[in-house]
Amino acid sequence: MQNIYYLCSMKLSIVIPVYQVADTLPRCLDSIANQSFRDWQGILVDDASTDGSSEICDDYVKQDRRFQVVHLKRNGGLSYARNIGISKARGEYITFIDSDDYIADESFKTLFEIINTRPDYDMLEYPVYEHYGSKKRNRLQFQRKDYTDMLSYWLEGEAYKHAYAWNKIYKREVFKGVKYPGKAFEDVFTLPAILKNCRRVATTDVGLYYYCFNPKGITETANGKDLAHLLEAHTRAISNIRRKLRRKRHKNQAEYDMKDYYAHVLNIQLDVYRARGTISKYFPILPYKHTFKLKLLHLFGLKRLCKLHKIFHRLR
C-alpha cells in the first residue's frame, strides 16, 4: 500500500538529508508533519548515520506513510543525499529542509496559496530566520516581486547572498540536467544552473524557514578549502554573466548594477587568502571602484591587497 502511495502524483516532494542529527531530527520532521498542507511526500535520505538518526527515520515512516526513507550504506555527503532525494521525488514541486532546521506552522499552506494561483512560477523564495538560536540571528525578509530576467534576480535581488537550497519551492522540472556538485557551498554552484531552466521566479513575504545555528555544521566549520569552493562558485558565475552579456549585444553590463556583487566576491577572495594564502587564478578583473576595498584593489593590485588584509587581521 505504501509503495502505491509513492507512485501516485502529489503536489510537493520534500528532500531531507539526514546525517548524525538525532538531537534535531524530530523537531524538523514534526514541523513538516504538523503542516495543515497535507499533499506532500517526505524523502528522508539517511547518509549512513550512526547516532540513532536512522532509527528515528524508521519510526517516522511507520507513523506517517507520507515519509519514506532511503538508508545509504556509506556516507556520501550532502550533495549526494540531495541528488538521491531529487531522483526519488514524485511531486510536481520540490523543496529541501535540512534536518537540523525546521519550518514555521502554516508555511506550506500560505506558499501554495500563491503557487496555485501562479503556476507560471518556476521557483518561489520565502523568508528565512538565519542563524536562529545564536547572537547572529537575522530575519531575512523579502518583498513580493516577480523576475523574468534571472540576471536581475541574481544581482538586484542579491540572490548570490542567499543561494540556499532550502527556503525555495521549485518546479521539479527545473532540476532536469542539474545535480549538486559534491563541493562545499554546493548551493551557490547549483542555483545558477537551476535559474537557466527558469522563466519566472518570485520572492514572497509569507512562510518562514528556521535556519538554525549549528556549531558543528558545514557553514560554521568552513575552512580555507571550503571558502575556496565558495570563491570558485562565484568566479564561475561572474564568468557566465559576462559571457551572457557579450552574447546579448543589445544589452551591456552597465544595465546591471554589479558593484555590490563584485565587492562581495572580493571579500570572499580576501578571506580565502587569509585562511590559506592562495589567490584564485580565475579571479576576474573588477571594473568598479564604488567601495573602499574595490578602490584599494585598483590602487594596490589583488595580491598586495590580500597581504595587507591578512596583516590587518593579525593586528586586530
Measured between alpha carbons, how far is 251 from 237 in angstroms, rounded to an integer?
Answer: 18
Per DSSP, what are the bridge partners of residue 147? Answer: 201
The stretch 80-106 carries a mean pLDDT of: 97
Please provide residue 175's backbone torsions phi and psi, each rounded to the nearest 5 degrees. Answer: -90, 5
Measuring CA to CA, which residue among 203, 274, 282 is closest to residue 239?
282
Strand order from edge to edge, sheet including 209-212: 102-103, 209-212, 128-132, 138-140
Which pLDDT tens digit goes with each residue over 112-148? 999 999 999 999 999 999 999 999 999 999 999 999 9
Which one is predicted more confidently, 228 or 292?
228
Counting residues of the chain whose pLDDT is more than 90, the rounded percentage is 79
More confident residue, 252 or 244: 244
Burial of 222 (0-12, 13-18, 19+ CB in 10 A): middle
- Please check whether residue 14 is in contact with residue 95, taking contact to mean a CB–CB distance below 8 angstroms: yes
Q: Rounded distance, CA 42 to CA 8, Å? A: 14
Length of the chain: 316
Higher confidence at residue 236 or residue 2? 236
Mean pLDDT, residues 53-57: 98
pLDDT (0 to 100) of residue 4: 47
162-182 pLDDT, tens per residue?
999 999 999 999 999 999 999
| Percentage of residues in the chain having pLDDT higher than 70 | 95
| In the predicted structure, residue 87 carries a pLDDT above the cut 60 | yes
pLDDT band at 100 (very low <50, low <70, confident <90, very high): very high
Ramachandran angles phi, psi of 238, nearest 5°: -65, -45
Q: Would you place residue 287 in the very low, low, confident or very high pLDDT band (cuts 50, 70, 90)? A: confident
pLDDT in tens, 144-167: 999 999 999 999 999 999 999 999
Asked if 123 and 203 count as a contact pair (C-beta separation under 8 A), the reply is no
Q: How many Cβ atoms are within 10 Å of 143's Cβ, its own excluded?
A: 8
Nearest to 102 by CA among 44, 37, 45, 30: 30
Q: Does the model's pTM come out above 0.85? A: yes
Residue appearing with cell numbers 556520501: 76
What is the rounded CA–CA span in Å between residue 113 and residue 268?
A: 38
Higher pLDDT, 292 or 202: 202
| pLDDT given for residue 216 in this prediction | 74
Q: What is the mean pLDDT of the chain?
A: 92
